[in-house]
Structures are given as C-alpha cells and as structure tokens.
Amino acid sequence: MYTFLDREHIAFASYNGKDPLGLSIQDIFWVQAQGNYVKCCWAEGEEVCTTLLRNTFTAVRKQLPDSFTRTHRYFMVNLHHLRNLT
C-alpha cells in the first residue's frame, strides 16, 4: 500500500498496512528488490537510513514518479541524486 500525501511526499506500508513509512520523494536515494521485500534508502538530515518493507518491487515501481529509473532488474534510483553516469 502506497499513498501520495502530496506531490512531494509518499507513504509506504507493508502488505498488511502496518509499519507505515512517510518520506519526501526527494530524500529517497534508491529502492531494491529483495525477495518478498523492498529495501528503501533515504536521507534523514545528515543520516542515511534504510529499511525493509514487505511488498513487491513491481508495486513500488508503479507508485514512484518519473524521477526514478530502473537501472537493473532489482534496482531503481532517484535521478535527482545522480552526479554522473558512466
């Protein structure tokens, strides 16, 4: 379950709706599929945080805006955080 709180924020939750995680879309660095889970990495001030959500990569991918691009079968990055591409 994913809900856009506004144009700049999204709320992630596991399949069962528990453990909601509200984030600024700009703060999210990447998301990665890990079996039946999705690992999310984001900035919280100067700290880099990660967490696992019990949900599918496909469900997450469909909810993220165009600023996220799939770079691998199991990985998406927020283009706003790329410095260069080789």
State the DSSP code for 35: T
Exposed / middle / buried, residue 18 (Cβ in 10 Å: 0-12, 13-18, 19+): exposed
77 contacts 30 by C-beta, under 8 angstroms: yes
Question: What pLDDT is recorded for position 1?
Answer: 44
Say which residues have a Cβ less than 8 Å from residue 2's Cβ, sequence separation at least 6: 10, 11, 12, 13, 59, 60, 63
What letter represents residue 52's amino acid?
Answer: L
Q: Which residues of the chain have pLDDT under 50?
A: 1-2, 4
Domains (range + CATH), the chain: 2-80 (2.40.50.1020)
Report the pLDDT value the prediction gives residue 61, as an integer from 0 to 100. Answer: 87
CA distance 45 to 56: 27
